[in-house]
Amino acid sequence: IQMSRAFKYVILGGGVAAGYAALEFVRRRGDATAGELCIISEEAVAPYERPALSKGYLLPEGGARLPAFHTCAGANDQLLTEDWYKEHGIELMLGTKVVSADVRRKTLLTSSGEVISYTTLIVATGARVLKLEEFGGSGSDAENVCYLRNIVDADKLVRVMRSCPGGNAIVIGGGYIGMECAAALVANKIKVTIVFPGKHCMGRLFTPKLAEFYENYYTSKGVTFIKGTAVSSLEISSGKVTTAILRDGRRLPADMVVVGIGARANTALFEGQLAMDKGGIKVNGQMQASDASVYAVGDVAAFPVKLFAGEPRRFEHVDCARRTARHAVAAALGAVGDIDYLPFFYSRVFALSWRFYGDNAGEAVHFGDMDSAAASSTPKFGAFWVIAGRVAGAFLEGGSPEEYEAIAHAVRRRAAVPDVAQLAREGLAFVLRE
């Protein structure tokens, strides 16, 4: 006989968005009553702040460990341990994978064969890493090949890193996962070579000039960049990679490999049942999918961004997960307006720290003296992106809270730029004046 249970609200996924949704639910409704709210997560632990996995978690000493970084620690808000969910009447089904969904019947089937039915579903399934195999490569199963998406991955990375002190790591990919892991590996006294096919690191966000600063900084920390090529194969002996072979035949000795080659939203359960867009589930300004009883939030949701004239976008950013989750809960529990989201992404590596707001489209206008920044222990510089005489995006390294707020504000109100040369000259002063 098939077990089956019914809940009014089900959150599918137990990551960042799920944690923030749960807190928002309790804030608006008080404790859940029996059969009211359930969270189903494939992971074995309660929702946590995923960005910690490539930062504090990898520190050589005194690394961040649970329960310290459960949600909603990252927003300096309440820390939701497993007990918190119990105390607030929320059923937290951990270690449970949903294997199929029936949107018309409003049911989910779990890996343990249980059928969960819902009145309202909030899809928060996030994204999964892309594997080497998806690009014709191999070696993902080797003992010393690491990916980084969840805490199981992070534990493996720590274990492998500690097994080869002073050894060689090959980092495949120059995105933020590759860059943050490379910095952590250096802190753990491992020699790092980063390999990627693009012209420069952080290709989707950085301008060549911004990238140059960070690449020089990494180089000064002993990191080697091999750009414009790819690892074509990994040589494996006794279950471990020993050598990475590049397209041009070069052989790089490897004690470990970290792969950060991108992610895909986890939409498979809903393909053919919900409208899709931008590689995710298409939702409206209420985070509501093409079936009105389903909401989608976080990495998996493509939603209209007012700042971009209502164009649907999908972001794999923690701030987006937090805000869209809260918005969906507010919408599901009553009427709210459409979400008005300011895209925001950040990263921290070594002693550096940057924030980016808006869109990196249009003309890039750099500010700050990057040459002297390179020599400074507290560099400060950045870029604005200007479209049709208005600020569309802004990047700042080393800003103060007030300065970050000022660039965010400039993007939010699409500050007029009558003279690009003046913007380049004045830099931060241009937006701090307002």
Query: Could you list the residues that contact ligand FAD (CB under 6 A)?
Result: 13-18, 40-43, 50-51, 53-54, 97-98, 124-127, 148-149, 177, 266, 269, 298-300, 316-319, 321, 345-347
Least distance in Å: CB of 8 to ligand FAD? Answer: 19
Per the listing, tokens 């309440």 go with 78
Least distance in Å: CB of 417 to ligand FAD? Answer: 26
- Closest CB to ligand FAD among 213 and 356? 356
- Closest CB to ligand FAD among 19 and 427? 19
Among candidates 71, 257, 272, which has minimal Cα distance to 170?
257
What span, in angstroms and rounded, lies between the C-alpha atoms of 394 and 342? 11
Per the listing, tokens 């943050």 go with 180
Measured at CB, which residue is nearest to ligand FAD? Answer: 15
Decide: 41 and 21 in contact? Cβ < 8 Å. no
- Closest CB to ligand FAD among 255 and 316? 316
What span, in angstroms and rounded, lies between the C-alpha atoms of 214 and 366? 15
- Closest CB to ligand FAD among 110 and 120? 110
- Closest CB to ligand FAD among 249 and 272? 272
Helix/strand/coil (H/E/C) assignment for every residue in the chain: CCCEEEEEEEEECCCHHHHHHHHHHHHHHCCCCCCCEEEECCCCCCCECHHHHHCHHHCCCCCCCCCCCECCHHHCCCCCCHHHHHHCCCEEECCCCEEEEECCCCEEEECCCCEEEEEEEEECCCEEECCHHHHCCCCCCCCCEECCCCHHHHHHHHHHHHHCCCCEEEEECCCHHHHHHHHHHHHCCCEEEEEECCCCCCCCCCCHHHHHHHHHHHHHCCCEEEECCCEEEEEEECCEEEEEEECCCCEEECCEEEECCCEEECCHHHCCCCCEECCEEECCCCCECCCCCEEECHHHEEEEEHHHCCEEECCCCHHHHHHHHHHHHHHHHCCCCCCCCCCEEEEEECCEEEEEEECCCCEEEEECCHHHHHHCCCCCEEEEEEECCEEEEEEEECCCHHHHHHHHHHHHCCCECCCHHHHHHHCHHHHHCC
Least distance in Å: CB of 164 to ligand FAD? Answer: 21
- Closest CB to ligand FAD among 255 and 299? 299
- Closest CB to ligand FAD among 173 and 427? 173
Decide: 172 and 269 in contact? Cβ < 8 Å. no
Least distance in Å: CB of 20 to ligand FAD? Answer: 8
Least distance in Å: CB of 160 to ligand FAD? Answer: 15
Least distance in Å: CB of 266 to ligand FAD? Answer: 5
- Closest CB to ligand FAD among 92 and 365? 92
- Closest CB to ligand FAD among 16 and 142? 16
- Closest CB to ligand FAD among 55 and 200? 55
- Closest CB to ligand FAD among 18 and 410? 18
Least distance in Å: CB of 318 to ligand FAD? Answer: 4
Least distance in Å: CB of 399 to ligand FAD? Answer: 16
Least distance in Å: CB of 229 to ligand FAD? Answer: 25
Least distance in Å: CB of 433 to ligand FAD? Answer: 28
Least distance in Å: CB of 347 to ligand FAD? Answer: 5
